[in-house]
Amino acid sequence: MAISEAVVRELRTVLDDGDVLVERADLIAYSIDGTWLEARPDCVVAPRTVQQVSAVLRIADRERIPVVPRGGASNLSGGTIPERGGIVLNLAQMNQIREIDTGNLLAVVEPGVLTYDLQSAVRKHNLYYPPDPSSLHQSTIGGNVAENAGGLRCLKYGVTTKYVLGLQYVTAAGAVGRAGGRVIKNVTGYQLDQLLVGSEGTLAVITEIVLRLVPYPAYKRTALAAFPTLEGASQTVVDVTAAGVVPPALELMDRSAVTVVEEYLHIGLPTDAEAILLVELDGGHEGAIEEEMKRITAILEQNGATVRLAKDDSESDDLWLARRSVSPATAQLRPNKLGEDVSVPRSAVPAMIRRCREIAARYDLLMPVWGHAGDGNIHPNLLFDRRDLDEVERLQLAAAEIFEAAVELGGTLSGEQGIGLLKREFLGLAVDPTSIAVMKAVKRALDPNNILNPGKIFPEGEGTRRIPVQLALSGHGAGEAVNASAPPVS
């Protein structure tokens, strides 16, 4: 084992015995995430307090043991894969909602609170926490902050970063700090809280979060628009926002995504349409929403859609369930899935979708496309079987072309799922050398021994732009002893 028995004994002096796991069967459960990648840690610890997080990090930093913070492990970037072994820091037991402050419209939570649990708790006070990833029953607020999660309702409400007012964090060396606060306006020094948003567990461990809340919208209206062409649907996204209407959600699913969800849920989705758009409007005045829905319906119909308005909350819930189910439903088609997450200016959505279709056809790959089209955040999902080497090679080439297309169209590699292991070799495609050097300097300043989630975000290969499909075979997952210490970030 790469971690000595003495270190395990020491960890057991700072945590409850049952909160330190080293048995093989336990470790296997912590070797996977939302991707197909696998690598086994040497040890899993589940702290219950910030003092315990700090004590674990002090030991790990002294011993140069990699530490991988982990929330719900629903990430789609390989972000919680302990590629270099070491300690998985499971934050699931730090799951208390400490405060809901209705006067100041904020909540204070521990990082392991599930996204859905927070949404439900604040709803009882007629308040709303809008960031809404489809994984909300599995993902944690700590993971959402570390990935700057988005979801279905970002067009009007924005992504997680907009809701983070303050954080408590622990540095790699075990020091505890607070960044931001409980105030809306704050320019007191660098915005360290915002620096940690989207940092993918590489800069510090987040142990408490102060979140902004908004009033729960009194009225909602959902429409489903079925289009005879994918182009019509993607053009509508541009036309709706150009008309000055900003719906909370404007979600696109292409025909293959619609078909697979219908086969999964049987709720009467229009499988003969080439694409559908789901539109949600919300607000405090019913009349204003009806008026806006009329304007949007006119635009949808001008672009060739047949429009169905959900008649009640139950039908609306079914439609949103359909959208949330695309990802699990597509798992039935092929054993593996590369869920891409490119982000382009909204006006480039039609071109991006055309490029995706052309790439999928050229490489003969199944690729349902869906996504938060209103945000310009498209999820082309490349389905494959990693045992089929020819298909894997085509996947590699297709993925690289999708990233290149997104960047050429003025966009970037990830809208909400992060870089992690999967896209690290492509970082230089979207981020210039000066900015990569600045990012590395920040990493070195906060984590000089490179123990926090090493190997994530920054390229490891020598210029080879490839997705790490075979990590499970070459990494720690095969069970060999590894040298757990990581080289510093160069």
Ligand X SMILES: Cc1cc2nc3c(=O)[nH]c(=O)nc-3n(C[C@H](O)[C@H](O)[C@H](O)COP(=O)(O)OP(=O)(O)OC[C@H]3O[C@@H](n4cnc5c(N)ncnc54)[C@H](O)[C@@H]3O)c2cc1C
Q: How far is the CB of 133 from ligand X (least distance, A)?
A: 3
CB-nearer residue toward ligand X: 180 or 232: 180
* Out of 85, 142, 380, 477, the residue judged to bind ligand X by CB under 6 A: 142
Please give the biggest Cα pair distance in the chain: 70
CB-nearer residue toward ligand X: 66 or 69: 69
Q: Assess 70 for contact with ligand X (CB under 6 A).
A: yes
CA–CA dist 225, 88 (Å, integer): 44
Tallying the residues shown for the chain, one arrives at: 490
Q: Assess 46 for contact with ligand X (CB under 6 A).
A: no
| Beta-bridge partners for 212 | 106
Assess contact for 280 and 323: CB atoms under 8 A: no
CA–CA dist 257, 367 (Å, integer): 9
Q: Assess 79 for contact with ligand X (CB under 6 A).
A: yes
Q: Assess 86 for contact with ligand X (CB under 6 A).
A: no
* Out of 147, 280, 282, 391, the residue judged to bind ligand X by CB under 6 A: 147
Token pair 């915002």 in the structure block, residue: 194
Q: How far is the CB of 161 from ligand X (least distance, A)?
A: 11
Q: Assess 417 for contact with ligand X (CB under 6 A).
A: yes
Q: Assess 201 for contact with ligand X (CB under 6 A).
A: yes
* Out of 254, 453, 477, 482, the residue judged to bind ligand X by CB under 6 A: 453
Q: Assess 54 for contact with ligand X (CB under 6 A).
A: no
CA–CA dist 356, 368 (Å, integer): 10
CB-nearer residue toward ligand X: 138 or 306: 138
> CA separation (Å) from 106 to 49, 57, 128, 179, 185?
22, 29, 10, 16, 14
CB-nearer residue toward ligand X: 181 or 328: 328
Q: Assess 150 for contact with ligand X (CB under 6 A).
A: yes
Q: Assess 454 for contact with ligand X (CB under 6 A).
A: no
* Out of 38, 83, 200, 340, the residue judged to bind ligand X by CB under 6 A: 200
Indicate the residue whose CB is closest to ligand X. Answer: 143
Assess contact for 209 and 109: CB atoms under 8 A: yes
Q: How far is the CB of 424 from ligand X (least distance, A)?
A: 12
Q: Assess 143 for contact with ligand X (CB under 6 A).
A: yes
**For the purposes of burial, counting CB atoms within 10 Å of the CB of 459, is it exposed (0-12), middle (13-18) or buried (19 or more)?**
middle
CA quadruple 452, 458, 461, 464: dihedral positive or negative? positive
Q: Assess 146 for contact with ligand X (CB under 6 A).
A: yes
CA 116 centroid distance within chain: 15
Subset of 102-121 contacting ligand X (CB under 6 A): 111
- Non-local CB neighbours of 5 within 8 Å, separated by 6+ positions: none
* DSSP states along 247-291: -SEEEEEEHHHHHHHHHHH-S---TTSSEEEEEEEEES-HHHHHH
Chain contacts with ligand X (rule: CB under 6 A): 33-34, 68-76, 79-80, 91, 111, 133-135, 138-140, 142-144, 146-147, 149-151, 200-201, 205-206, 327-328, 416-417, 453
